[in-house]
Amino acid sequence: MSSSSVNLKAVPGRLTSSYSEVQASRLDVSLPLPSVLKSSFSVVDGPKSSAAGNPEEIAKLFPNLFGQPSAVLNPGGSSVLSKDTSLKIGVVLSGGQAPGGHNVISGIFDYLQHRTSGSTVYGFKGGPAGIMKGKYVELSAEFVYPYRNQGGFDMIASGRDKIETPEQFKQAEETAKTLDLDGLVVIGGDDSNTNACLLAEHFRGKNIKTLVIGCPKTIDGDLKSKEVPVSFGFDTACKLYSEMIGNVMTDARSTGKYYHFVRLMGRAASHITLECALETHPNITIIGEEVAAKKQTLKSVTDYITDIICKRSELGFNYGVILIPEGLIDFIPEVQQLIAELNEILAHDVVDEAGVWKKKLQSQSHELFEFLPPTIQEQLLLERDPHGNVQVAKIETEKMLLQMVETELDKRKQEGKYKRDFLGKTHFFGYEGRCGLPTNFDANYCYALGFGAGALLHSGKTGLISSVGNLAAPVEQWTVGGTALTSLMDVERRHGKFKPVIKKAMVELEGAPFKKFASFRDEWALKNRYVNPGPIQFLGPAANAINNTLLLELGAQA
């Protein structure tokens, strides 16, 4: 073993003796498996694959992997997978937490325990950096146990480093050789899975035996395709946020005097916001992708909200709940333009108190800047990242919209068009949703993803993402397989070079979830159709419910 490798002591960071009753009750739950994973199976290849876009470029970037078929596990058949095989498998968590990550790892671990003999699983610590630095822990049944069906990524911790430079690929190669790795499972989002595929390509190109399989992780729900119907963690996160939103709705209705502006985590895409809307039926929901498609301005979004508030007031309702996606600002072209101009001006000029600097803004940007509430203007000018750029992510969009709505209502009040006092409250639901105990769905789904990843590695596959399908059916009927990562890719031009990317799946305005939302939102706006989803249940009739987005996309009733 190379001296750079650090095998950390296999002591779990958690003590089950201090677990809450609910945590403890989840530890020994025996998870259902898709029936194909319960007895012998064969791994069958599909047709040759292509790419999501620019197949010629993807072919050039992945000469050894491009075109490889997706694989599916079929029950029975003459399995070539020997139980006598002994595999050395690494696993790594990459990027932000999502409920269920621990179950993917226990799925991989259990697969190897049941289907191979004498296999070893190494958990790389702290994300991809753990691969590069050779920092890992060897998993044992005792080590894995406290994390079964538990939230968080702390079993081996995650990280945001990427394996990008030639030196970093070399380091990963070293670790793979040192540990004699047969395979590596990368649990991550779009970037991490692109990275996994580059690593698979690298290993195959250099004739290194290490296979690489990805797993679709992100609460944001923006990593999905036909064969990968949903990323894990989305279900739990949406249900946690919806519990809180439902409570805030009940509060709004009971109190009768507050408008709650709720911003929801989820990065650029509005999947979480849309799902929470489908679960709870808020009065107003802003979907970033629609704002972009309709080329809306901040003013038009503000007017849309204000109009509904005024109409509700006429109906006697002076309260309500408004959902706002974290990524809203990124969808408004005029805001992007303003920020670009600000970055330029602030890099070269002094911002004088008297505001002479504003003359450097183009007229549309100047107008927008003046339209913004003073606190937001201040944030734009003062909060800068280390490169001197405006930190868009730090802008509290819910507070910004609340202030703009207040200003607009004041105006209408003076014009006699609105007569009430307006009281707003703001919320941001984010971190509390990334690490909850996984729902039954996420627990089962992740366990199957991990089991499937083990099967793919066992059968010699590389450059695939573990894919589990038919999710609207009972777990026993779920399908298990792997999708060629190159088939999910397109290229982007960066610094004059083509770079492979798995395109983020955004909310489709023609998709079933948005269409269902769009068909109901006017009713939800003026009538109060609030739903309180309540806390996530692990037992009882509601425990196995699946999120609306997934069901609708699968063509099932939601």
| CB crowding 167-194: b at 16 or more within 10 Å, else e | ebbebbbbbbeebebbbbbbbbbbbbbb
Under rule CB under 8 A, how many of the chain's residues touch a copy of itself?
58
* CB of 534 vs a copy of itself, minimal distance in Å: 3
* CB of 515 vs a copy of itself, minimal distance in Å: 19
| 533 scored as a contact of a copy of itself (CB under 8 A) | yes
Is 469 assigned a ligand-binding role in the annotation? Answer: no
- For a copy of itself, give the closer residue by CB, 99 or 500: 99
- Select from 255, 336, 362, 391 the one that contacts a copy of itself (CB under 8 A): 255
Is 433 assigned a ligand-binding role in the annotation? Answer: yes
Is 136 assigned a ligand-binding role in the annotation? Answer: no
Window 82 to 121, contacts with a copy of itself (CB under 8 A): 97
Window 430 to 449, contacts with a copy of itself (CB under 8 A): 431-437
Q: Given the rule CB under 8 A, which of 110-118, 190-198, 289-297, 531-539 is the region that contacts a copy of itself?
A: 531-539
Is 266 assigned a ligand-binding role in the annotation? Answer: yes
Structure-token pair, residue 470: 């038919």
| 157 scored as a contact of a copy of itself (CB under 8 A) | yes
Backbone angles phi, psi at 496, to 5 degrees: 75, 5
Q: How many helices (H) and strands (E) does the chain have?
A: 19, 17
Beta carbons of 116 and 87 less than 8 angstroms apart: yes
Residue type, 556: A
* CB of 104 vs a copy of itself, minimal distance in Å: 14
Cα–Cα distances in Å, from 126 out to 37, 95, 233, 241, 454? 30, 10, 19, 27, 21
- Select from 425, 499, 503, 516 the one that contacts a copy of itself (CB under 8 A): 425
- Select from 213, 228, 240, 322 the one that contacts a copy of itself (CB under 8 A): 240
Cα gap 374→378, rounded to integer Å: 6
Q: Given the rule CB under 8 A, which of 22-30, 77-85, 179-187, 222-230 is the region that contacts a copy of itself?
A: 22-30
Distance of CA 115 to the CA centre of its chain: 31
Beta carbons of 370 and 343 less than 8 angstroms apart: no
One symbol per residue from 298 to 337: x for binding a copy of itself (CB under 8 A), - otherwise; what is it?
----------------------------------------
- Select from 16, 74, 225, 247 the one that contacts a copy of itself (CB under 8 A): 247
The Cβ of residue 86 has, within 10 Å, a number of other Cβ atoms equal to 12
Q: What is the DSSP letter of 77?
A: S
Q: Under the phi-then-psi rule, with left for phi > 0, alpha for psi from -120 to 50, and beta for the rest, what region is 146?
A: alpha
- For a copy of itself, give the closer residue by CB, 14 or 299: 14
Q: Given the rule CB under 8 A, which of 154-162, 184-192, 478-486, 500-508 is the region that contacts a copy of itself?
A: 154-162
| 168 scored as a contact of a copy of itself (CB under 8 A) | no
* CB of 81 vs a copy of itself, minimal distance in Å: 33
| 19 scored as a contact of a copy of itself (CB under 8 A) | yes
- Select from 13, 53, 75, 205 the one that contacts a copy of itself (CB under 8 A): 13
| 42 scored as a contact of a copy of itself (CB under 8 A) | no
Q: Tokens 């992708």 map to which residue?
A: 289
Is 314 assigned a ligand-binding role in the annotation? Answer: no
Cα gap 552→517, rounded to integer Å: 11
Interhelix angle 234-255/271-280, rounded to 10 degrees, is: 50
- Select from 57, 154, 290, 341 the one that contacts a copy of itself (CB under 8 A): 154
- For a copy of itself, give the closer residue by CB, 501 or 526: 526
| 540 scored as a contact of a copy of itself (CB under 8 A) | yes
Q: Given the rule CB under 8 A, which of 115-123, 185-193, 284-292, 423-431 is the region that contacts a copy of itself?
A: 423-431
Cα–Cα distances in Å, from 391 out to 285, 292, 373, 388, 480? 24, 20, 17, 9, 42
| 538 scored as a contact of a copy of itself (CB under 8 A) | yes
Residues in Cβ contact with 364 at an 8 Å cutoff, skipping those fewer than 6 apart: 334, 337
| 377 scored as a contact of a copy of itself (CB under 8 A) | no
Beta carbons of 267 and 541 less than 8 angstroms apart: no
Nearest alpha-carbon partner for 320 in 236, 422, 391: 422
- Select from 190, 220, 222, 243 the one that contacts a copy of itself (CB under 8 A): 243
Question: Which contacts qualify for 515-523: CB closer than 8 Å, 24 or more apart?
Answer: 516/278, 516/548, 516/552, 516/558, 517/274, 517/277, 517/278, 517/285, 517/287, 520/281, 521/277, 521/285
HSE-CB of 66 using CA atoms within 13 angstroms? 17
- For a copy of itself, give the closer residue by CB, 148 or 434: 434
Active-site residue flag, 220: yes
- For a copy of itself, give the closer residue by CB, 208 or 556: 556
- Select from 26, 135, 204, 461 the one that contacts a copy of itself (CB under 8 A): 26
Structure-token pair, residue 521: 């939102």
- For a copy of itself, give the closer residue by CB, 75 or 256: 256
Interhelix angle 440-458/101-115, rounded to 10 degrees, is: 40
| 474 scored as a contact of a copy of itself (CB under 8 A) | no
Report the chain's C-alpha Rg in angstroms. Answer: 25
Cα gap 229→146, rounded to integer Å: 29
Considering 154, 220, 235, 330, which one is annotated as catalytic?
Answer: 220
Segments of 431-522 assigned E as strands:
464-469, 479-484, 489-494, 497-502
- For a copy of itself, give the closer residue by CB, 370 or 378: 378
Q: Given the rule CB under 8 A, which of 252-260, 263-271, 356-364, 400-408 is the region that contacts a copy of itself?
A: 252-260
Q: Which residues bind a copy of itself (CB under 8 A)?
A: 13, 18-23, 25-26, 97, 126, 150-154, 157-158, 240, 243-244, 246-248, 250-251, 253-256, 258, 260, 279, 281, 425, 427, 431-437, 528-529, 531-542, 545
* Annotated binding residues for diphosphate: 96
- Indicate the annotated binding residues: 96, 190, 218-220, 257-258, 265-267, 326, 431-434
Catalytic residues: 220
